[in-house]
């Protein structure tokens, strides 16, 4: 194990591509540059609030020293670091936004371990050339959310960037939480993010908008050589895009599996590696609702609602295809790869849903009952997480009263007689199917409980943990870190295995959130 201060960092991106090395933080356009040098701005009194020991061990990093905390706070950089902010563009809420870039994320460098190369990035470490009208800082509430959710998603098995550390800065940050003209000072914080790469669809969109074929080819070749080295054929750019399509479809399926709603699926928030990236106004589903969006900015259109995420994944891939078509005289191959998304997604989806229901690989009848579950759950809107865990324990007796009582803990309201009948009919047919598909009861239960989490990071729990931290307490915050490491466990943390309380249904920061962070 090596201390961060003693790590020998690499700087492949800044060595490979043209950037602005001036270090000027003045917000501006940087045509022809893929990054700008960005030195973190020091903070007053850094304090380590959280450290992901699991991730640190994977990366070969020792527990942080006082000097390491100064690095994680942006107060110190080492000789081998060349901090930078990446330049990229993107479509936001369906509209072209032009140049964007890392407005408050600063990449310190990277290092290699046995399972790959990882970049270390500070989010909230001060302004960069791409901060526009913002201050480059982050508040405690959004930083706590990103830290906990990054690690929670990892332990759920969902592809994601990771969080190594959370540091409170000792400085106050002015934020208008709901953009209603009432800004307040909040505690500042910095999240240390880790990923093999933070490359986004928007990195490629930027070069397409500039019509720069040479840099586009250079960036794609570098991306393939570094992250897709198995692609060696002559038409590897097309094959690479096909893999990005596949990874994106898989990610969308994984979000559906655990009930995750990203909230801001702009193309600049889409990872080229198929990772969940940029945790903002996200949420897990409480009651099952395809129309749910946690982001106030996404109202009233609900473009990024839970049920729309797979189609938005396709739309975003279309923007990426359009960008890299700069290198193609004939775009038929790109179009075919893009069109393959629908089949790939549904194949992943049915395979995933079969596991949620405890089936072997799905056939025609399994797909029919999957569709029925979708329809009934959309109607009765139970707590998604609780419902599927209860399904693994479905009573052998399919007596209506027994079934309804069994699933009652997952319901947010009393069901109408017709809804009760539909649920009972579905569960009865499901129970019959499970007795005839050759999978033992124990094997089925294990499959379901390894697919359907028992514990998720609900927004009301995050809200309570943030309020505690702002009071100088951390008991719930520490417990949540431990609970998120074992989301599929069959026992423990019983107080987290319950429906969203009534008070949280309409409370700001629990049901709806803004992009303010």
Question: How many other β-carbons are positioned within 10 Å of the β-carbon of residue 331?
Answer: 14
> Do residues 208 and 179 both lie within one domain?
no
Residue 193 assigned as binding residue: yes
Contact 17, 212 (CB under 8 A): no
| Burial tier of 435 (Cβ tally within 10 Å: 0-12, 13-18, 19+) | exposed
Residue 318 assigned as binding residue: no
Residue 206 placed within a domain: yes
pLDDT at 516: 64
> Do residues 79 and 127 both lie within one domain?
yes
Cβ neighbours of residue 215 closer than 8 Å, sequence gap 6 or more? 17, 18, 32, 34, 207
- What is each CA distance from 414 to 103, 381, 407, 411, 420, in whole angstroms? 47, 11, 11, 7, 9
Residue 123 assigned as binding residue: yes
Question: How many other β-carbons are positioned within 10 Å of the β-carbon of residue 42?
Answer: 15
> Do residues 251 and 328 both lie within one domain?
yes
The answer on pLDDT for 200 being more than 80 is yes
> Do residues 8 and 54 both lie within one domain?
yes
> Do residues 116 and 67 both lie within one domain?
yes
Please state which of the ranges 257-266, 294-303, 450-459 shows the lowest mean pLDDT.
Answer: 294-303
pLDDT digit string (tens) for 394-429?
998 889 999 999 999 999 999 999 999 999 999 999
> Do residues 139 and 65 both lie within one domain?
yes
Tokens of 60: 């070969």
The answer on pLDDT for 115 being more than 90 is no
Residue 512 placed within a domain: no
What is the count of structural domains for the chain? 4
Contact 75, 47 (CB under 8 A): no
| Cα distance between residue 272 and residue 248, in whole Å | 8
Residue 53 placed within a domain: yes
Average pLDDT in the chain: 96
- What is the average per-residue pLDDT within 328-357? 98
pLDDT band (50, 70, 90) for residue 370: very high
Residue 265 placed within a domain: yes
> Do residues 250 and 393 both lie within one domain?
no
Look at residues 329, 350, 371 and tell me which one is the last residue of a structural domain.
350
> Do residues 146 and 173 both lie within one domain?
yes
| Cα distance between residue 498 and residue 246, in whole Å | 35
pLDDT at 460: 96
The answer on pLDDT for 517 being more than 70 is no
pLDDT at 164: 99
Residue 136 assigned as binding residue: yes
| Cα distance between residue 46 and residue 122, in whole Å | 13
Residue 467 placed within a domain: yes
Residue 278 assigned as binding residue: yes
Contact 284, 301 (CB under 8 A): no
> Do residues 116 and 233 both lie within one domain?
no
Active-site residue (options: 20, 68, 268, 298): 268
Residue 101 assigned as binding residue: yes
Tokens of 449: 């409980």
Which has the closest alpha carbon to 406: 381, 387, 426, 425? Answer: 387
Residue 444 placed within a domain: no
SS3 assignment, position 306: helix
> Do residues 483 and 336 both lie within one domain?
no
pLDDT at 325: 98
Residue 25 assigned as binding residue: no
Residue 496 placed within a domain: yes
Domain residues for the domain of 277 are 202-350
The answer on pLDDT for 177 being more than 80 is no
Phi, psi for residue 476 in degrees, rounded to 5? -65, -40
pLDDT band (50, 70, 90) for residue 180: confident
pLDDT digit string (tens) for 7-23?
999 999 999 999 999 99
| Cα distance between residue 449 and residue 438, in whole Å | 18
Contact 281, 513 (CB under 8 A): yes
> Do residues 343 and 397 both lie within one domain?
no
Residue 263 assigned as binding residue: no
The answer on pLDDT for 437 being more than 90 is no
Residue 207 placed within a domain: yes
Look at residues 408, 438, 468 and tell me which one is the last residue of a structural domain.
438
SS3 content of the chain, % helix, strand, coil (to 5): 45, 15, 40
- What is the average per-residue pLDDT within 119-147? 97
Cβ neighbours of residue 476 closer than 8 Å, sequence gap 6 or more? 461, 464, 465, 468
pTM for this entry: 0.97
| Burial tier of 393 (Cβ tally within 10 Å: 0-12, 13-18, 19+) | exposed
Tokens of 440: 């033992």
pLDDT digit string (tens) for 473-497?
999 999 999 999 999 999 999 999 9
Look at residues 197, 221, 251 and tell me which one is the last residue of a structural domain.
197
- What is the average per-residue pLDDT within 459-465? 97
> Do residues 369 and 345 both lie within one domain?
no
Residue 355 assigned as binding residue: no
Q: Please indicate whether residue 68 is annotated as part of the active site.
A: no
């Amino acid at each position: 194990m090596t201390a961060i201060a003693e790590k020998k960092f690499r700087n492949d991106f800044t060595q490979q591509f043209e950037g602005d090395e001036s270090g000027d933080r003045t917000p501006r356009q940087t045509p022809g540059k893929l990054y700008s040098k960005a030195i973190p701005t020091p903070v007053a009194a850094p304090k380590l609030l959280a450290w992901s020991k699991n991730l640190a061990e994977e990366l070969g990093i020792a527990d942080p020293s006082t000097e390491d905390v100064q690095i994680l706070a942006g107060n110190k950089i080492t000789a081998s670091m060349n901090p930078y902010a990446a330049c990229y563009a993107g479509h936001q809420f369906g509209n072209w936004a032009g140049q964007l870039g890392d407005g408050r994320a600063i990449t310190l460098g990277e290092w290699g371990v046995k399972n790959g190369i990882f970049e270390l990035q500070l989010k909230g470490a001060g302004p960069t050339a791409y901060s526009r009208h913002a201050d480059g800082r982050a508040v405690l509430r959004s930083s706590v959310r990103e830290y906990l959710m990054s690690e929670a998603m990892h332990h759920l098995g969902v592809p994601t960037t990771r969080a190594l550390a959370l540091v409170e800065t000792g400085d106050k940050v002015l934020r208008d939480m709901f953009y209603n003209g009432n800004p307040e000072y909040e505690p500042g914080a910095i999240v240390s993010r880790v990923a093999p790469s933070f490359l986004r669809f928007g990195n490629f969109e930027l070069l397409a908008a500039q019509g720069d074929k040479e840099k586009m080819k250079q960036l794609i070749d570098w991306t393939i050589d570094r992250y897709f080295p198995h692609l060696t054929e002559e038409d590897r750019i097309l094959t690479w895009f096909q893999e990005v399509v596949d990874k994106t479809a898989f990610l969308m399926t994984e979000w559906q599996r655990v009930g995750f709603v990203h909230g801001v699926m702009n193309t600049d928030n889409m990872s080229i590696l198929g990772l969940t990236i940029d945790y903002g106004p996200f949420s897990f589903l409480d009651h099952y609702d395809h129309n749910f969006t946690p982001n106030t900015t996404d109202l009233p259109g609900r473009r990024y609602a839970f049920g729309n995420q797979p189609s938005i994944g396709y739309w975003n891939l279309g923007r990426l295809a359009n960008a890299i078509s700069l290198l193609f005289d004939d775009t038929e191959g790109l179009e075919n790869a893009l069109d393959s998304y629908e089949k790939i997604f549904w194949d992943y989806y049915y395979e995933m849903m079969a596991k949620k229901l405890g089936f072997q690989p799905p056939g025609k009848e399994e797909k029919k009952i999957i569709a029925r579950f979708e329809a009934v759950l959309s109607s009765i809107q139970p707590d998604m997480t609780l419902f599927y865990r209860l399904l693994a324990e479905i009573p052998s007796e399919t007596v209506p009263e027994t079934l309804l009582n069994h699933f009652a803990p997952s319901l947010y309201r009393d069901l109408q007689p017709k809804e009760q009948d539909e649920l009972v009919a579905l569960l009865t047919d499901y129970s019959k199917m499970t007795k005839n598909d050759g999978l033992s009861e124990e094997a089925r239960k294990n499959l379901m409980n390894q697919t359907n989490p028992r514990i998720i990071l609900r927004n009301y729990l995050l809200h309570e943990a943030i309020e505690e931290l702002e009071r100088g307490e951390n008991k719930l915050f520490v417990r949540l870190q431990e609970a998120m490491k074992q989301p599929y466990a069959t026992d423990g943390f019983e107080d987290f295995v319950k429906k969203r309380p009534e008070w949280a249904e309409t409370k700001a920061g629990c049901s709806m959130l803004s992009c303010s962070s």
